Amino acid sequence: MKTLTLLALALAVAACDKSDESDNPDNPDPGLDDTGATRDTGAPPTELTDCELLGLDPVPFNPDGDSLPLRHYTAPDFTLPLADGSEWTFSEQFSGCESYIFLPHSLPVDDADGRSWWVEGMAGLLDKSPRNAHYFFIVRGNPADAESLIDAMATDIGENLASLSDDDREWWGSRLHVVAQPSNQIDSIISLGFSGNIGSYGLAIDRFQKFRSLGSMAAVEAYDPSLDGWAWERRIYEAGYQPEYYNYEFDRQLRLDAEDATVVEVLDGGVESQYADGVLVVPDNLSDFDTLEIDVVMECPNTNAVEIGNCGAWDYLAYMWLQVIIPAAETKSLEGDDTGGDTTDDDSGTPEPPDETDDTASPDEGAADTGSIDEPVEEEPVEPGPTTEWWEMARFITTYHRESRWVVDASHALAWLEPGSEHTVRYEWAPPWNGQPTGVTTRFRFSNRGKADRVSETVHLFSGGGLNTSYNDREPIEVPIPSDVSRVELVAITTGHGMATSNCAEFCDHSHHFTINGTENAQVLDDPGLESGCANKVGSGVVPNQAGTWWFGRAGWCPGQEVEPYIVDVTDQVTLGETATISYEAKINGSAPFDDAGNIKLNSWLVYHR
């Protein structure tokens, strides 16, 4: 093969015409001090490790790897023969600072072009990729044209390396690997992963040394309207999103591990299709905590299969609800009147959570049978029963066909819990008419972050609804502010859905204006219209490479991400012990809403801290 020569040539480019810098007064010899005398430190210069260059802490290699390349299994040691004549051994290279992405040739460019997606080349991969990634290009199976595929990829890599700066060429030259043999000829666990469908879209090993399967490599920039059905072609540079997401996951776990949190698991990974109920046992020392986070893991039901076609197919609204029983004698709360369970593009209104009531009529046992039709029937008074409400603790948007994990702040819900109490909570992620079988794990993380106070009470303000010309027909709310609170927050969970008119309210810019005693607080949702608005948030937790239009910016949400609450400290906008006047309105592109503009999912509260 010509591969060795091509790669060596690329790494040698620019060395030939490099001028001698030793006589340059601006580049003094590092071995001389400022008098020209030679410094003798008594030790050779220290070479920084890759982890040190990246500013990351290393993680030791775990020798107890698993024998199967299944998602979240620990990767064992293995060795791959490379096209430059060297070998690459995992245990010698693993640092915990880098991710390892294995890309097969076998994906076609698109449904109409059966050529390997490798023909589209490497251009753009290094621009999208974080620097702490290794990429391996492997011919899957044992096709007759394996040698030409390997040579072509090596040529492409060589050309791309030749265009880089000296430092980048050296860095990426040791991280772009063309494997010398097709996968069926390799004796390693990577070959095993490529022989089954779990490696259909490629494999990865993340910074936890865990196997991961890859997702869709369709690129938003590679749109071809002439294609029937799915109109986006594959590009190699889409693989750069995966290690970026692995960095996010690793950093998040470091944060969680460093926190002294009390973790209460409610759902343990069982597979359900629409929603699952569990019991939240609140810690007895609830008053010790000032923060509540909800941790949700959604996994494909078949752990032996690739994610696409296995995990849920649609980007549905998902909610964590708290069941609250309102005694009949008390005034009914409005905390959770905007319940959910619809699809993200349904603008038909707001259905309730699944109905579990028994509608069977019971006989009227209070009627007196006197035998006379003229005599009025006396009935004993019936005491009204309690009311069940579902209050929104957190909101998420499910992925297109991929596994996910989210951790979101839900501290406002601390006000709804009592020390040592037990509450029914419901995680709901699909509508009743289109279940999405999913293994769900939910954990509630109670922690103390040293805040000066904690949430003690909430007042529900406004809900959403159909976005139209009458949406803003709302009266201001008068809210008494207690005199003993230390801090007041405005908290809102807001997302826009539907595409009926002008792509509203999913793909149009809109804003939500909460005015407190004359001071306006505006939540501006202006990501719609950004072609890669959600793809650009992979480093903030959007699950990458989904099998759908996951890249596009949306109004307050992205497929495969938690919905971050809008939180504003409004203490200075109220007067303690007096009544605050609070109003709300929505605008589309800065103007009043028009009819048939989708719908707004909104819950908002005034939150008191003491």
The first and second tokens of residue 221, run together, are 């920039």
Q: What is the pTM of this model?
A: 0.86
pLDDT tens across 549-587, in order?
A: 999 999 999 999 999 999 999 999 999 999 999 999 999
pLDDT tens track for 200-240: 999 999 999 999 999 999 999 999 999 999 999 999 999 99
User: Could you report the per-residue pLDDT of 269-319, keeping only the tens digit for each?
Assistant: 999 999 999 999 999 999 999 999 999 999 999 988 999 999 999 999 999
pLDDT level of residue 3 (50, 70, 90 thresholds) = very low
User: Which of 118-127, 248-257, 358-367 shows the highest mean pLDDT?
Assistant: 248-257
For residue range 148-165, what is the model confidence (pLDDT) as tens digits?
A: 999 999 999 999 999 999
pLDDT for 49 = 87
Question: pLDDT value at position 33?
Answer: 40
The identity of residue 28, as a single letter, is P
* C-alpha dihedral sign at 339, 341, 344, 345: negative
Pairing label, strands 176-178, 133-138: parallel
Is residue 349's pLDDT more than 60? no
What percent of the chain is predicted at pLDDT more than 70? Answer: 84
Please report the pLDDT score of residue 103 as a whole number: 98
Phi, psi of 333, rounded to the nearest 5 degrees: -80, 160
b/e burial code for range 101-126 (CB count within 10 A of at least 16 → b): bbbbbbbebbeeeeebbbebbbebbb
Give the pLDDT score at 343.
Answer: 40
The torsion angles phi and psi of 195, rounded to 5 degrees, stand at -80, -15
Domain chopping of the chain, boundaries: 3-45+53-247, 259-350+385-609
Confidence grade of residue 42 (pLDDT, cut at 50, 70, 90) = low
pLDDT in tens, 496-519: 999 989 999 999 999 999 999 999
Contact in structure between 447 and 260 (CB atoms under 8 Å): yes
Q: What is the pLDDT of residue 262?
A: 98
Judge whether residue 335 has pLDDT over 90.
Answer: no
What's the rounded Cα separation, in Å, for the pair 563 and 66?
Answer: 35
SS3 content of the chain, % helix, strand, coil (to 5): 15, 30, 50
Give the per-residue pLDDT at 30: 37
Domain covering 259-350+385-609, topology:
Jelly Rolls (2.60.120)
DSSP secondary structure code for residue 240 in this structure: G
- pLDDT value at residue 45: 56
